[in-house]
Each structure stands twice: as C-alpha cells, then as structure tokens.
Structure 1
C-alpha cells in the first residue's frame, strides 16, 4: 500500500472511485482497486454509464433480452444501470459491513436529471431506484437544486440514503445540510432507526477553478494571475467549515444521541482540468476527517504514485481560504454569479449526458433488434 493512500485513510478521508462499468466489474478491476488501493465506494453519473454502454460488449446479452421485450430506452437505462450498481454494491458489501454506521461501501445511482426541478418526480424516482437496486449500501443521487431540497428532506424522512450532488456554493451547501437534518427529524418522528440512514453532500471542486481562472485570465493582470487555481480549494475548505457548524450544537446532538450519522462532505470533480496543476491538487488540498474524495481512475493512480500526502489538515486553512475568495471578489469576479452559473451549467450538462445515454441505449437496442430479425 502506497503511503499517500494510507495517509488519506488515516486522516479520515474515504477513497471512492468516480467510474463504473460492467467490464470493470466482470474483469475483476473493481475488486482489485478495492483490495489493493483502499477504494471503499463508487460514484456514477450519466456520462459514465453512456460511455460504458456505448462501448462495452458485456451489455450485449442483457440488451438483446431487453430488445426482445420491446422496452423503451428509459426502462432499459434503469434496468442496465441498476444491474451494474447492484453488482458493484455486492462487491463493496464487506466494506459496508465494517464501516462505522455503514457509511462506506456505498454505490451511487442518479435520478433522471430532467427531474431536477420537479420535487414530486424526484421523490418518486428515488423510491423506484431504491426498490429496483434493492441493496442497503446504495445512495440515491439527488441534485441540490431548489426543487431538490424538499425532495432530499422527504427522501431522508422515508429512510432512503442520499448522495446530494451538484453543490457549488456555500449557501446551497448550508441549505443541503438543513434539508438533511430536517429529514432526519421527520424520520425520527416517524419511528425510523436513524442509524440506518446515511448521506453525503457532493461539493464539486475543479469546475470552480475552471470558471474563475477563465475570468482571471480575461483580466490578465499579475494580481489576477497570482490567484489562478485558488478558488476551488478555498471554496471547498469553507464548505468544510460550514459542515462543522451544521453538525454541532444541541439540535444536532439530539439527533446524534438517537443514532443519526453526519452527512459527510464528498469532494467531487477532483480530476484536474488544467494540466499546469498537480494531478493530486484536489486531493492533497482537501484532507480532513469525515470526508470522502471520489476520484477518476487517473487521479487515483496519481495519488497512488505519490509517496506522502502533501497537504495539511484543511481545518487550519479557513482564514486563508476566506482571504482568497475575498481577493478574487475585489477584482470584480462575483462569487454569487460564478456559483449560480456553475449550478445551472451542471444541471444542463447532466441532462445532456442523460439524453446522450438514452440515445446510446436506443442505438444498442435497435442493433440487437436487427440482429434478432436476421437470425435463421
């Protein structure tokens, strides 16, 4: 085991993999990452599944069976993705069983992002996906939109564990934490066992630098250049400060005494977009207990290749993080405008990826149907 991966685990950072495919499951690749690289969770999104279904021959038999039944592309997507998530959850079940309160060993599956602005549909989809996957170590991914917030509360109240995704702003993060706590209070009032309910809040990291750096480059000053690559880590560090505030005090302590689990921050989008930055930038800069870092495989391998974790515990960096955000705003770059843009773009990108996933699935179904019709 390499030192940096061990350093992360020792610091209370759970290492998750931000990709999934049937080929990875069948080949033993996922099992190997679990065994040798401390991977204790998996996240997915429509783009990941689109790429897997488009190119993976491992889906051929199931696609042929779905084609024979004449199912829609939407039903096929739910069936195929639920199968992969279920199989990955089974591989991660040992990690789930030994994790405190079963917070690791989890696999996430996303509601249709076209429901991002429909509270009722999101709740119904979360219930359906929970039934379809039928594994206790599953997270249902719900986007942190305004309509998503009450859906998070109600889904948690029904005892369904949730991965809240597409969080960019500190204000939205605080609303997400509130939605989770409110859901736990409703669950407790309904007589549910709070220890069986879990959640993570996926705070997106690298996209913040991408947008802020673009605006800094437009300014083109030396002062602007000195702030490149500082916004994303600063934003995430301040989110952790908000996490500490949200999960303390008497209101939280009452729930904790009843068995409730903290909603851990999950650092998402941790692959660097700018090659000028170290491949481990969004890992080594965000080390703190009770966090998850979900990494693309390339980032995981870069972490593995590094001898020790270069960063310090982020709890000592709050003042520095605030100073970075304030310096960026003094240059005329509005934090509120950036995070609002990133949320809107994030939902739109996931919707586009979902549509692309449906198109890829439809193509596979049509190809299977044509082959079936040409059989002697």
Structure 2
C-alpha cells in the first residue's frame, strides 16, 4: 500500500496568519454582538505580505470603507434594495476611492458598500456604526496578527531564487554558445526564456524590498543583514548580466560578417561564462582567462581598425560594429563574473559556514 505524500509547505505563514485573524475577528464580533461575515471577509483581504504593507494600506482601507458604507446607505435610501442600488454603490465607491487616492482601500470599501445593501432595515445610523465597528475590528486584528505572528523570512527565499536564476542564466548562455557556430543566434525560444528570466528577477527585487520593509518592525542580526546584502548584490549583478546578454539577441549576426574562427571564439567565450555562472563560487580558471584574453585582443583590434579609418572612408558613422558590440557585451559579463568572485571572497571572511550552507541548498 502506497503512503500518501503531502507537499511540503502546504500551509504557509500567511495562510496561518489569515486563519488566526479570522478566528479572533469572529470571536470578538460575536462577543460584541456584531455582524461576523463582513468582518471576516475584511480580515482575509487585509493580510499582506509584510507588516509595513498592512499598516500603510490599513490607513487607506479604514476611511475608504467608511466612505463606501456612507455611499451605500445613501443609495439605499433613494433607490431601496434594488439591483440599481448594488450597481451604484459599487461604481460610486470605486470612483470616490480613486478620486481621493485611496486605491489600496478600494476592494474593502466596495465589499462594504455592496454587502450592506441587503442587511439595512430601518435605522441607517446604527447600520453605519455597525459596519464601521466591524471594519475597525477586522483591520486592527489583521494588522496586529500580521506584525506579531510568524514574520516572513524573505532572505531565505531570495537566496534560493538566486541559485535557481543563476543556473537558468548559465543554461541560457550555454544554449546560445552551442547554437552560434550553426548561425542560429536570434532564436525565439531563447528570447522567451530571456524575457521570463527578466520577470523572475523583478520578482526577486520585489522580495528584497519586502525584506527591508519587514525589518522595520522585527529585530534582525548583523549576520542576517550581511547575508541579505550578499544575495541582493548578487541579484543586482545578475540583472546587469541580463542587460548585456540582451545585446546577443538584438544584434543579429550576418554569416558574411563573421568567419568560422570568430564565431568559434564567441561560442567558447559563452561556454566558459556559462560554467563560471553555474559555479556557486564563481571561480575563474586558466582556460577562462585565456579565452577572455583572446576576445579582449580581438575587441581592441577591431576598435583600432575603426580608429585608423578616416571619417571619409567609413560607410557609416557607427563607432561599434556588430562584432564589436557582441565582444563588448561578453567582456562586460566577464567583468561582472570577476565582481561576483570578489564579492564571494569578501563575504566569506565574515561567516563562510552560512554561505556554504546557502549554496548547498
């Protein structure tokens, strides 16, 4: 009989915090004899990735929900509990939140405006204060829970994503290097992978911002900050690599412009760059150095040829040929790889055991 296997991290910290916020909100509302349903909905939608977001958006959600409730009660007074009342309550609330720059509270305010329509009976003032009370309770409880329970550790996620992203970039560079000799540089599939990697890096940069915001409300050690800045710097350098790698895609190689030896040199360069990026220590071996020296010599030879040509002899006034652009991009990636190697040695001086554990995961 096969054992059932459950996925790891099935219930994350945010799910647990949502459950705790819902339970406490429901309990408090029942004790105060207030409507529970809408308070629970508010508590669910106001749990944010960081404590800073909860507080910042909570400052917008509270007045927005009061505005939505007031608009809804006004519409109900005029049109009754009709389909038109639901429509106007939702639309006018969205417009009001947008005009007052309360975009973060639009969802909660619209839910408040629509949910109150079928519950209002005779006393509009009591209905308004009930809704204001449940909204306040839900916002306060969800914010307190988000700040105090299970603070998220984005640094570990960033480190894991960096390991994955460096591997994918190395694979992409290797694929380009293999296809260069066959004159298939501009490949749609590789460009799609490049675009996807760019989006993934943007996500990781957002996680870095989340971590910095989270540390405003929770204690952290100097070692935590060092590990975070190490991973953040790696991510920034990886972003620069993709910037230079884009030159390979936007620069189309004409088979008549570059002979086989030149394309072979480009292919070898891409191969050693791929190996260097795929190594978590970013070590540069002797073969790598020799190939880069050849590429560097070729680059400066091309530049000197352009300089020797007079302005009158040039067909175009471009200072960089297609070949020079590609050489410059690859040399720039090599420089970044050297910076990664230096960065690694620098951070190993502080706590090498931590860094070794992170790269082995």
Normalising by structure 1, we get a TM-score of 0.21
Normalising by structure 2, we get a TM-score of 0.22
More helix by percentage: 2
- Whose relative contact order is higher, 1 or 2, with alpha carbons under 8 Å and at least 6 apart? 1
Q: Which has the larger radius of gyration?
A: 2
